Amino acid sequence: MMEPTMRTERSFGVTAELKPAQRRNLHNLANSEIYPDLLDVLEMVCIETETQLINTDPADEAAVLANHRMAKAAWQIFTHMQEKIYSESQFFLASVAKPTPVPALTPEEMRIENLLDPTKPLPEEDYVGI
């Protein structure tokens, strides 16, 4: 088992697009029984940041403003992270999903479609007119 490492600064290449394996891992995480626990811990961090704001001396306007910014940023990061995981999971699903085959319309169905929507093409005639 790997020991977790703390990232305290930017990593090279993280702003690039995720690899398919990374998207698969995020999809698996978001659909695992562990994900709600992870969200609970991250929400706890947001609440702790809010608690720090609540316990700030109201007379210290600079500290109140600074703690308000931190609390707001914590919730924004929390929600943005969830949105990002969801969108990357959807990208993964789109990359592995097979397109649903749609049968071609018959000439009669094409005529009906054209009657309902004149911008749709008419079927090509398979005989030469006189």
Contact indicator for 23, 89 with CB cutoff of 8 Å: yes
The pTM score is: 0.67
Burial code (b: 16+ CB inside 10 Å, e: under 16) for 98-127 equals eeeeeeeeeeeebeebeeeeeeeeeeeeee
Domain assignments of the chain as residue spans, ordered by start: 20-98
Contact indicator for 96, 33 with CB cutoff of 8 Å: no
From first to last of its 130 residues, the chain has per-residue pLDDT tens of 778 888 888 887 777 789 999 999 999 999 999 999 999 999 999 999 999 999 999 999 999 999 999 999 999 999 999 999 999 999 999 998 787 888 888 888 888 988 888 888 888 875 555 5
